[in-house]
Structure 1
Amino acid sequence: MKHINNSLLFFLIILCGRSFGQTTVLTKDEAITKTLKSNYGIQRSQNLIEIADNNQGILNSGYLPSLSANAGANYSNENIEAQFQDGEPRILNGAETKRYNASLNLNYTLFDGLGRLYNYKQLKEQYKLTELEARETIENTILQLLSVYFEVARLTENVTVLNETLDISKQRITRAQYQFDYGQTSRLGILNAEVDVNNDSIALLNTQQQLENTKRDLLVILNEPETELRDVAIDTTINFLSELELEDFIKTANLNNVSLLQAESNLLISDYDIKVSKSGYLPSLGLTGSYGWNNSNLPSTSFVQTNTTDGYSAGLNLSWSLFDGGRTITNIKNAEIRLENQQYLKEQVILEVQRDIANSWGNYQNKRYIYEVQEKNVLTNEDNFNRSQEQFKLGQISSIEFRQAQINLLNAKTNKNLAKYDAKFAELQVLQLTGQLLNLEF
């Protein structure tokens, strides 16, 4: 058993030496900055914003004219038999005809029933919606990042607690060995102490492995998969916002919640869709203009053998679809139904957001209370452990009773760590639902 214990301790020293040689601390704000810069999901959402920005630009608005250039050349070689007015026939073999033309054509829609105007406004609103969708992606990614970040912090603190527990258990082995040497106890005390050291070593190794796995999850979110795990140190400091500040955020949640803002944007887009469809009832007026050049080289049988023309032309075109088979009426009806559905969806989102905020707020208050209780529990167990340690040294309690006090303190500290980060994450969920997650530093 001593050989097994020594092997575990040797492996533990190597593993802990690798993992606790960090020199640089990755703060929460630095982690958020790295994520915003490098995370693939956020980069994709930024590209979608760029596409929406291109779509809302003047080049995609329909307000600019179209200009086209055309050019052509024709050649023919024919045998011609012509009869003139004097009745004399003339035969011409291999008569060549050459024609050349070039033109510039301008088309511009002066009025299209306001469809172009509302379509342009719809594209503007679509851009805002894409920005809101990107914001939602960023919020979810940041929430995921901080969840993993806090898990790394929790496991880091647990490793520290388990190291302290292991040190105490190793001191028990030394003390039990002295007591055995002086005949104060049997070898059973040494064996019990070695068992406890082995158990504490295994618990530390398992927690250390969980820590390394979670660090890898963090590096994936940061898009830094090649970073050495020993270079990743976490800031375990947690600061809570005041409940008064959180209550103020809740009061203005209807103005900042990203889901509500998206529902409102979709409502506007559907309203513009109706107006675009109604433009089919109105006429359209277009302007056309062109400049053309033509040149013809004709055979000798023609009265004019060379003909060249150039010049300008312009015109207005008015068209009014009096009846298009009912397509416009159908489009308007369908657009009105879609608007009604968007209104229903908005009302549903309002109810869901109100429910989620109420649940998250209650959850946060519960987590904060549990954390405060766990802090008091740690103080109680520390006092109990210190008293038990003194009694154990005096031989007033058994090793089993001392071990129980040690385990109680270990559980109290790890439970406090869990409660602390659970409470902070619950606070972050409140901030996300109230639309304030990206407005604060952590």
Structure 2
Amino acid sequence: MNGVSTFFLLLILYPSLLYPQATATTDTTLSEATLPNCIRYGLEHQPAIRASKIDEEITETTIKDKLSDWYPQLNLSANYQHYLKMPVSIFPDFNNLNGPKKEVQTGVHNYATPQLALTQTIFNRDVLLASRTARDVRKNARQTTTANKIEVVAAISKAFYDVLLTQEQIQVLDETITRLDRSLKDAYYQYQSGIVDKTDYKRAGISLNNVRAQRKGTQDLLVARYAYLKQQMGYPAEQALQLSFDTTHMEGGIALDTLQKVQYESRIEFQQLQTQQRLLQANVKYNQWSYIPTLSAFGYYNVVYQNDEFSKLFNHSFPNSYVGLGLTWPLFQGGKRMWNIRQANLQLKRNEVEMTDLKNNINAQYAQALATYKNNLSDFYAQKENLDLAGDVYNTLTLQYKSGVKTYLEVIVAETELRATQLNYYNALYQVLSSKIDVEKALGTLSF
């Protein structure tokens, strides 16, 4: 007995003993947060994706539930009844057929009737619809998951770029603070030497304070953008996330074939409407089948126990059994079936209108996304060229100021232009990468 108790205790504790091991091996953080790794993580942990996968499982169980009606249905039922007052039947007097009829109590006080029933659907429009649409229903659930994955990929990519842009802005501001701090010291030493007046180093101090304040605001923005990225990834808010990226490699990824043509079938939204169209066509047939009778086969086996004494009720049985066919054919329903068919056809027609509207929207989305991409790409190349020019101008004016040729005001202007150009360059880089995502999404080529 002790061994048996131990065995059952181990069966109860077995799942809980395994659970810590399974939890320990679950990867909830990223050691190298590159963009592909962030996307891969999001596709596994993002709540919207996990919910979609659960919906797929729910759909599968619903389909199997509907299809199970095709199988034979076997049911066992039992009934017991006890007469408090016996029923009465009226019979003629067989000894005097012309005389008055007699009231006779019939039956016994106790009845018990177990029944075994077997039914088999031969034709039923509900199960026929389930079997014919199962494939498309599954496909529709998978397409919903795919659509959510595309949205997650786009959202994570853009959030990733926003974080990188903010980090680059902070780096630019750090470099600016270093330059201004050095300029402030140079201007102060020149003032101490009597070469310039005090306005130069005070201007440098003003510029330095402004940049430090800008950096503080940008640092706070970085925290918010990291939080948004974690949300899109389904990443634990309390866990650290350090992005890994290569700006040079990202510059090489901005190219896009702008001569591509829109293929409507590539868009998941169009594919969903096509699947919905097939389901609506099946719904039209389903309503047309309402004119066809429902047919099923059945078989029953009954065992009747009856006796006036309850203790002897099951001493003797009176079995009976029968088989047959059941036919249900609604002949008139006030025109209900006709209007249902009309409604199903209108829903199908509306789906066709939605497909036409979606095509127009896809064309407009692609045109808008492509125009934005081209504009951002031109701006990126312009800012890249300006970056080199602004650096040369600042370095030249700094040397000329130290030689006493240029004023410090010109140095401040050059430094401000350099900082603005650096910020504009990184902003243009990530804008063109973000707009490229919109083009790929519009084309239906955004992969995951």
What band does the TM-score fall into relative to the shorter chain? 0.7 to 0.9
| Paired residue secondary structure (1:313) | strand
Moved more, 63-72 or 73-82: 73-82
| Paired residue secondary structure (1:26) | coil
What amino acid sits opposite 1:259 in the alignment? E
Structure 1, unmatched stretches of 5+, are 1-22, 88-94
| Counterpart pick for 1:117 among 109, 113, 128 | 128
Q: Distance in 2 between matches of 1:117 and 1:200?
A: 72
Aligned-residue offset at 1:123: 4.2
Q: TM-score, normalised by structure 1?
A: 0.83
| Counterpart pick for 2:443 among 419, 434, 438 | 434
Equivalent residue, structure 2, for 1:27 = 34
| Counterpart pick for 1:158 among 159, 169, 175 | 169
Equivalent residue, structure 2, for 1:100 = 112
What amino acid sits opposite 2:423 in the alignment? T
Change (3 A) 1:78 1:360: closer
Query: For the Cα contact (< 8 Å) 2:67–2:127, is it kept in 1?
Result: no
What is the number of equivalent residue pairs in this alignment? 401
What amino acid sits opposite 2:182 in the alignment? Q
| Paired residue secondary structure (2:447) | helix
Change (3 A) 1:86 1:48: same
Equivalent residue, structure 2, for 1:182 = 193
Q: Distance in 2 between matches of 1:169 and 1:275?
A: 77
Deviations 1:354-395 (A, max 9, x none): 221122122212211211111111111111112112112212
| Paired residue secondary structure (1:405) | helix
Structure 2, unmatched stretches of 5+, are 1-29, 97-106
Note the 1:74-153 alignment, pairs <5 A. Answer: 74-76=81-83, 97-112=109-124, 116-153=127-164
| Paired residue secondary structure (1:437) | coil
Query: For the Cα contact (< 8 Å) 1:291–1:312, is it kept in 2?
Result: yes
Query: For the Cα contact (< 8 Å) 1:177–1:190, is it kept in 2?
Result: yes
| Paired residue secondary structure (2:334) | coil
Q: Distance in 1 between matches of 2:425 and 2:94?
A: 117
Q: Distance in 2 between matches of 1:386 and 1:43?
A: 54
Aligned-residue offset at 1:48: 1.9
Query: For the Cα contact (< 8 Å) 2:108–2:306, is it kept in 1?
Result: no
Equivalent residue, structure 2, for 1:281 = 291
What amino acid sits opposite 1:382 in the alignment? G
| Paired residue secondary structure (2:70) | coil
| RMSD, aligned CA | 2.9
Query: For the Cα contact (< 8 Å) 1:368–1:423, is it kept in 2?
Result: yes
Note the 1:246-257 alignment, pairs <5 A. Answer: 247-248=259-260, 250-251=261-262, 253-257=263-267
| Paired residue secondary structure (2:440) | helix
Query: For the Cα contact (< 8 Å) 2:66–2:130, is it kept in 1?
Result: no
Change (3 A) 1:161 1:186: same
Deviations 1:79-134 (A, max 9, x none): 9999x9999xxxxxxx973222111111222023x553234333432332232222
Change (3 A) 1:288 1:81: closer
Equivalent residue, structure 1, for 2:57 = 50
Query: For the Cα contact (< 8 Å) 1:115–1:277, is it kept in 2?
Result: no
Query: For the Cα contact (< 8 Å) 1:260–1:349, is it kept in 2?
Result: yes
Q: Distance in 1 between matches of 2:156 and 2:132?
A: 36
Deviations 1:218-274 (A, max 9, x none): 222233343355x43342531426433x645x45x3221011112211211111110
| Paired residue secondary structure (1:323) | coil
Aligned-residue offset at 1:26: 1.5
Q: Distance in 2 between matches of 1:42 and 1:160?
A: 35
Aligned-residue offset at 1:78: 5.9
Equivalent residue, structure 2, for 1:68 = 75
Q: Distance in 2 between matches of 1:353 and 1:367?
A: 21
Note the 1:173-212 alignment, pairs <5 A. Answer: 173-212=184-223
